[in-house]
Structure 1
Amino acid sequence: MRTIRNGLVLALGITMTALGATACSGGGGNQQTPAAAAPNEHVDLTLATFTEFGYEALIPEYERLHPNIKITHRKTGQGGPYHQDLTTKLAAGSGLADVTALEEGHLSDFLDKGSKFNDLSKIGPADASPDRWLGWKYDAAKTKDGKVIGYGTDIGPLAMCYRKDLFQAAGLPTDPEAVKPLFATWDSYFQAGADYSAKTHKAWFDSAAQNFNAMVNQLPEGYISTDDKLAVETNQGIKDAWTKVTDAVAKGESAKLTAFSPEWNTGFKQGAFATKVCPSWMLGVIKEQAGPENANKWAVTAAFPGGGGNWGGSYLTVPTQSKHPKEAAELAAWLTAPEQQIKAFQAKGNFPSQVKALTDPALLSQTDAYFGGAKIGELFAEQAKKVQKPQYKGPGDGQIQENASSPALKAVEQGKSAADGWNQMVEAAKKITR
């Protein structure tokens, strides 16, 4: 999710291909990967995830397929505190799980610590080859020297969700195809919002930060440049996005709700906003927070301002702290195989990043009655294919989103000028990357 993770977001057995030599480098220097367990030797593995990965039914299935393996699942809440704890344990050299999940927004904080993770391209099963995943998903987990530290789980392809009843009351089209022109570009989206808010005196979207995050994620380069320098002040795309979003706030388009706060949750039930940036995992959030009384009021369409993008998704890593890296890599590979990721999608809505999964009838036939029977599998598979390559996210990227841009936009919603809010974000970002 995943970023529900803040955030977006699936059990057939697979026979694991035997690994080659296990004495390859597991980290930096001359460190050697521990030897694999003997056949049928009992192995205890730990798996650490946050929010919802959809693994509850998959873990016992894996244990049935591998009777000698016992998995302890450490599942925690929101991603921010989870990743802070990982940083502490990584520095301490102990405490990390054998298989440790990383959220894509925080991945950059760990890619420069590649020596602390096993290279899965060397110790993982042969069937976990690069062509299992969408190219941009696989490449995003590579360190600068080419080491693969994570197997991709889900992704968060972007679409738009909207309240059909609120659209109808405002004289707007309600059919998913008919609303697409409103969401063609950010200019058309915010103009439609200005018209809606002027007519109804109601909010068009939930929060400035949610839209801004999606807009920044679409840029070729984000908060951090490819040479790991802070790019907030030099990246014109970020400044343009800031201007568009804060202009919309000034026109009354924002409900001024902090994402995942109690007030934001209640806003779904009360119809506090008419549209919502919708990575695939957001459908589950909407259903949970809006409740059964709002079924069929929400709709989703295969359109997104600017063409598409990705927000959310995670990876499974095997830290060099693991005493059973071979077995841990096999578990991570199995959990991220297409068959298992489809199961996770069906369980929790985490959209798979695997190429075969995106063409599997089990995925494409998936519908959601809550959203009027929308073909959500087909819809998000279409949106996923619009993402061409990952945006480079250098160290501190996720922290800037959570602790610089989002608080600054909240301040603007509470009355601070757009110019002062921009300066607040810049200064906060500088402290993070100092």
Structure 2
Amino acid sequence: MQSLLMQFVPAAILAVFGGLGQDSADQDASTWRTPPRPVRIQVVLVDERVLKGHLDRFDQDRFAGSFGTVEWDEVPWRERESLFRRLMDSDSAHDWVMLGSLLCHQIPAEDRAEAAFARAIKMDPSVQLLVQQALEAGLQKRQEIARAAEEDQRTRLRRLDPESGPWPKDPWPVLDPLQQKAAIESLLQQADSMQSDAGIAWVPIQTEHFIIYSDLPASELVRARQVLEESYVGMQNLLGLPDQQGVFWGKAVVFIHGRQDVLRLLVAAAFNQGLDRDVTGTCHYHGQRAFINVLSTPDAARSEAVLAHQAAHAFMHCHISPRRLPAWVNEGIPEYIANQVGTGAVVDADHRPLALSYLRNGGSILRVMDLRYEDGSWNDAGRIAYPVGYLGTSYLASNQLSSLRRWIRLVKEGVPSGEAMKQAMGGGPDRLSAAIINHYRNNDGDR
């Protein structure tokens, strides 16, 4: 494929640059330029491959040697400039233009490209037209790179946590009984479409608040149905909601998978979400609709905890509005519910010792409170973030339940989290952090 610069550069100049843009299979050996002697190189490419060997020829688009043929754009721009400087004739204005053309399509290298072009013009004013053409080619190439990046962003699987939003600010509409019935029918149709895209056709089982699909035998889903409904009641109790108040748009849809490959396939097809192989549960949203996907594993207690955790996420999403609390309590509440509902209190057994050790050895709760989904810091700190979030939420649920409920309601109604905390608890994160540290300094339990 021809390079963009070739579209502008006269044939006489191409001879100087050496065979611009021709495919290597068609390129005559005479179009390559040869350094006075083979140059030993070692460079890390953009894709992190390490290139080592002797370079014995190059042109405007590529260089070659004992390691094969490599495009210049495969080399990070700083290393690209350094390597080309070793090969070029520093007394040649055309070589300085060539260096500028290798850099000018990348924004971080603009200053270096301009310096190369300025030096070329100072050495030989007649190359000004060539410089202008190279700049135009660089701009066009930059636009192509931007378009390719946008397309990649649209098509690549999402990696951010589904809880990261962004979320609309308006409260959810309250559905009457007829609207709820219609919502359930719509969810059944949407779930069938998701299954079709993933190549499965599971039969739904409905509970009071959930629509469950699974490839597991019905006898193995008895406990799952209990966990889901107990999680719903647990959230009602935690938030102080009346029993008759419905939360979900229709019902929450739950896929319980016996195979990890099917879990990852359905989540990718339905939600454009790429899951790491160690992820066994997730909750996604289409507006007010909530869709849970979990993997059933041989560790029944932890599978129950994952299911309860995701059910709590679905509940919180549909409660009043989609506005989120800070990540530590947005995850702490589902972990708290999972421990209340699950078998054997495995969440507490996993989290409490780690969190207590962290706090008693000078760990900063404020640092955990500052972690966010959007920049990836929450997931990066997951080993300690979840335990501290769980312990902080357990403290609030046991010692400041009315304040926790008020804080959640204020945030859900649109008050910024920090201001809502001050209104509900009489202080901000500093005060809450100090209270939690003071309590657990000598107490292993929550009261």
Shorter-normalised TM-score: what interval? Answer: under 0.3
Normalised by the length of structure 1, the TM-score is 0.22
Structure having the higher helix fraction is 2
Relative contact order (alpha carbons < 8 A, sep ≥ 6): 1 or 2 greater?
1
